Amino acid sequence: MATASRARAVAGCELARIFDSDLLAALCESVRVEIVRILVTQRRADLQTIAGQLPQDRSVISRHLNVLHRAGVVRREKVGRQVFFELDGAGLLGRLEGMLEGCRRLVALCCPPKPARRGT
């Protein structure tokens, strides 16, 4: 019983770590989700183009893009004096799949399925 309790405690801590990831933190801000939408529709854009579609100052949009870059949501490429941003689809999917796999493994430890009821 103590072993099961310990496993659930560890699972709870690990699940909290997964939910507190920089990826989820980056995507919980509506402006960042809007930036992702812009990049989906335009595929690739520079800061000026992205900021031109949002009410925030360019410096604020630049900070949001940096958060998205650190979280692995977007990648950037400098061409001359301009920096272009685009979604990092493979990186984003890999991070999401890793989170999902971690959740599946932890849920199996802490929340086993209930046995089927007879007669229902």
Is pTM, for the whole model, over 0.85?
no
What phi and psi, each to the nearest 5 degrees, are found at residue 56? -75, 160
What are the structure tokens assigned to 96, written together?
């999401």
63-88: pLDDT as tens digits = 999 999 999 999 999 999 999 999 99
What is the band of 120 on the pLDDT scale with cuts at 50, 70, 90? low
* pLDDT (average), residues 13-36: 88
pLDDT digits (tens, 9 = 90+) for 95-113: 889 888 888 887 777 776 7
Q: Which of 4, 3, 2, 10 is nearest to 112 (CA)?
A: 4
Confidence check: pLDDT of 119 > 70: no
45 Cβ contact list (under 8 Å, min separation 6)? 38, 39, 84, 85, 86
Look at residue 16 in the predicted model and tell me its pLDDT.
80
Q: In the chain, what are the domains?
A: 2-110 (1.10.10.10)
Contacts of 21 (CB under 8 A, 6+ apart): 95, 99
The reported pLDDT for the residue numbered 69 is 95
Q: How far apart are CA 115 and CA 4, in angstroms?
A: 18
